[in-house]
Amino acid sequence: MDSNGLSHKAHDATALRVPTYPSNCLEFAKIFLAPETQVSDQAEKAKVPLNILLVGAGLGGLATAIALSQSGHKVTVYEQTSVLGEVGAGIQVPSNSTRILFKLGLKPYLEPYVTEPENIAFRRWQTGKVIGNTSLAPDFTEKFGAPYYVIHRAHLHSALCQKVQDMGIEIKLGARIENYNPSVGSITLADGTTYTGDLVVAADGINSVARKIVLGGEDLAARKLGFAAYRATVDVERMKSDAEVSWILKKPALNIWIGDSRHVMTYTIGAGKAFNMVLSHPDATDPSTWDPLKAVDNMKAEFEGWDPVLTKMIGMVDKSLKWPLVSGSVLDKWVSEKLVILGDAAHAMLPYMSQGAAMAVEDGLALSRSLAKINSKEQLAESLSIFESVRMERAGQMQEASLLNSHLWHFADGPLQEARDAAMIPEVEGIPFSYSPNQWSDPATQMWCYGYDTERAIDEAWEKSRPNGV
């Protein structure tokens, strides 16, 4: 016994219990607490290699194909388009996603194309004054073990395609899947050809055909929330030649102007060669009525009266694409027998946390981790059920966080907006703070969002389902 009455045994790691409240206080001791659950740099190898049919070669489908294949499964990808590619301009790759992409071996494929922004600055809609600030580099790498990147979508997609090709994973193009049979594990193409596997993974996007089948025939389509976004790029050479706007290119950064019902997110992509803009605004009209020829003029009209620097940059846009913004309905099922949906098919979200594709990347690694636990094909249902429950909670919470930003960013000038801006003063002035309406900065949200360990979440769920290791 020591002087405070504790036995020396109490100072062993065996006396430490992981708290039931959200806390990272035992991070330093995790190697002592459960050495067998330490996540290695290598993919956990599947004890039961499966023949997996994967539908959809989008960002989520390709990342999932890589994760599953590295774990030892045979994966064949079926994609409806005859040419692989991605539409739109930039995409943010937050640290929780980069960490996984690096683990999957994508670092050398991405490095030539990425930009690492130093910070994200929230700006007042009318003046551009900085009202919120999060340091991203090197802070996010130091805190969360991986950088926060921005990249052109086409570059991210081609990096994934190149990796898929180098790993020898087959992609069948022009292969539109019209039907699924979950009990057999088969898919049927438009021409009637049927393929059967041990498991079908559908990463077929927001208008998923598979989702309806998983839900038993009654689809729950995405919810329209009355927002649309213009996506555009500006030529940086043109910006550089204009002293009023060229300063924004001086350092790589994300800048977001927020105001009544609208915001504009900007950053450089193509390793600094292009300037990306996403301009969100209220629009509840039917996308089939949108005239693409009027997009640029309509976009300019939406932001009249905003910060002159911003409107000058908007004035430099020659081409713009208008995109409906929706949030996936919260589903109570992602799995039906041998069919599982993931990515936007399962949990599309508003892009206001920049986490939609990141969630699909996490899904891919989580599925591969959960499948690696099975010792026989009889355990497939259990493995899919654990995957489903872990990922449903995580992606559902990210849908919620994204939706919350649609309120936090869009206050009209008034008391709520003033209180929000006042709450961000400490982060702008470099004073310590314990909460922030900027979800990139808020300490609790930050740890949950970017510090999330996908594999550990799956390991813990397996342990919980078999407390005695049976």
Ligand X SMILES: Cc1cc2nc3c(=O)[nH]c(=O)nc-3n(C[C@H](O)[C@H](O)[C@H](O)COP(=O)(O)OP(=O)(O)OC[C@H]3O[C@@H](n4cnc5c(N)ncnc54)[C@H](O)[C@@H]3O)c2cc1C
Count residues binding ligand X (CB under 6 A).
33
At closest approach, how far in Å is the CB of 352 from ligand X? 9
Q: Which residue, 109 or 323, has its beta carbon nearer to ligand X?
A: 323
Nearest-angstrom CA–CA distance, 441 and 286: 35
**Interface map 364-403 toward ligand X (x if CB under 6 A):** ----------------------------------------
Closest approach, Cβ 309 to ligand X, in A, equals 22
Interface with ligand X, residue 274, by CB under 6 A: no
And the tokens for 371? 């499948």
Q: Does 177 bind ligand X (CB under 6 A)?
A: yes
Query: On the CB side of 375, how many CA atoms lie within 13 Å of its CA?
Result: 2
Helix (H) or strand (E) holding 130: strand 130-135
Length of the chain: 470
Q: Specify whether the CB–CB gap between 320 and 299 falls below 8 A.
A: yes
Sole window of 122-130, 205-213, 256-264, 411-419 interacting with ligand X (rule: CB under 6 A): 205-213
Contacts 24+ apart (CB under 8 A), 300-306: 302/230, 302/262, 303/262, 303/264, 303/279, 305/126, 306/125, 306/126, 306/257, 306/259, 306/264
Give the nearer residue to ligand X in terms of CB position, either 327 or 417: 327
d(CA 222, CA 207): 8
| Residue 342 CB, nearest approach to ligand X (Å) | 7
Out of 60, 132, 185, 252, name the contact with ligand X by CB under 6 A. Answer: 60
Sole binder of ligand X in the list 52, 71, 78, 388 (CB under 6 A): 78
- 310-338 as b/e, with b when 16 or more CB fall inside 10 Å? beebbebbeebebbbbbbbbebeebbbbb
Fill in the per-residue mask, 133 to 172: x = in contact with ligand X (CB under 6 A), - = not in contact. ----------------------------------------
For residue 191, the minimal CB distance to ligand X (Å) is 13
Of the candidate residues 74, 176, 224, 238, the single one contacting ligand X (CB under 6 A): 176
Question: Amino acid identity, residue 168?
Answer: G
Which residues, 6 or more positions from 358, have their beta carbon under 8 angstroms from its beta carbon?
Answer: 93, 94, 96, 97
Identified binder of ligand X from the candidate list 70, 71, 92, 439, rule CB under 6 A: 92
Q: Which pair of tokens denotes residue 223?
A: 């919810």
Backbone angle region of 378, left / alpha / beta, with phi > 0 → left and psi within -120 to 50 → alpha: alpha
Residues between 330 and 359 that touch ligand X (CB under 6 A) = 343-344, 351, 354-358
The one among 70, 76, 80, 268 contacting ligand X by CB under 6 A: 80
204 touching ligand X, by CB under 6 A = yes
- Nearest residue (beta carbon) to ligand X: 58
| Smallest separation, CB 459 to ligand X (Å) | 24
User: Interface residues for ligand X in 39-58 (CB under 6 A)?
Assistant: 55-58
Q: Report residue 14: phi and psi, to 5°.
A: -65, -20
What is the DSSP pairing of strand 339-341 with strand 335-336?
antiparallel
Q: Terminus-to-terminus CA distance in the chain, angstroms?
A: 37
Q: What is the rounded CA–CA span in Å between residue 445 and residue 407? A: 16
Please identify, using beta-carbon distances, which residue of 56 and 147 lies nearer to ligand X: 56
Q: Least distance (Å) from ligand X to the CB of residue 218?
A: 18
Minimum distance of ligand X from residue 323's CB (angstroms): 5
Q: What minimum distance in Å lies between the beta carbon of 361 and ligand X? A: 8
In the bound state with ligand X, the residue whose beta carbon lies nearer, of 100 and 374, is 100
46, 50, 53, 59: which one binds ligand X (CB under 6 A): 59
56/132 with CB nearer ligand X? 56
Binders of ligand X among residues 98 to 137 (CB under 6 A) are: none
| E strand intervals along 214-348 | 223-235, 254-259, 262-269, 274-282, 320-327, 335-336, 339-341
Binding site for ligand X (CB under 6 A): 55-61, 78-81, 91-92, 176-177, 203-206, 209, 229, 231, 278, 323, 343-344, 351, 354-358, 360
